[in-house]
Amino acid sequence: MSIESLKEKLPAFAKDVRLNLSSLASDETMSDQRKYGLLIACGLATRNPVVASALEVEARARLSSEALDAARAAASIMAMNNVYYRFVHLASNKEYGSMPARLRMNVIANPGVDKIDFELWSLAVSAINGCGLCIDSHEKVLREAGVGAAEVHTAVRFAAVIQSAAVALEAAGLSRLVAA
């Protein structure tokens, strides 16, 4: 499966999602590694196997095995960090913020690819997972490294479109179940 086959699976009510997926596929504002790493990390963050596998097929031929693993690692480590740091951020008891996380996250320091690519993927996954603390942290690192607001914005747009594809597929599946 690919982005084209994913678009074909989307129901008629998701026409805008199909159009937005087309714009992602044709986006040339980022390097291939950044773009296709975003597809992998965000696809996995949706937790939708149809979306994740379609985007993996799309990206596999364009990424090294190291970049594939790093994008997978970004989705995995952010799944953990986004839960933990969202809790710390949202909890009324601020004592939790002074406690050590005691979570291994060595991959953030040594992702096996350009650190900025990994940070961008982590930011996009954090947007999908709704962790404001992580969004701020990754955005700060990116901006300090010279990544412009437009590229950060594009990464979050990728996350939004990919998440919307997953929701559209789920909605279509639910409507079939209800009709049965």
Residues labelled as active-site residues? 131, 134
Give dist(CA 138, CA 144) in Å, integer: 10
Give dist(CA 25, CA 171) in Å, integer: 23
Give dist(CA 135, CA 24) in Å, integer: 21
84 by Cβ neighbours in 10 Å (0-12 / 13-18 / 19+) ranks as middle
DSSP code for 104:
-
Tokens representing residue 110 in the block: 């040594």
Q: What type of residue is 127?
A: A
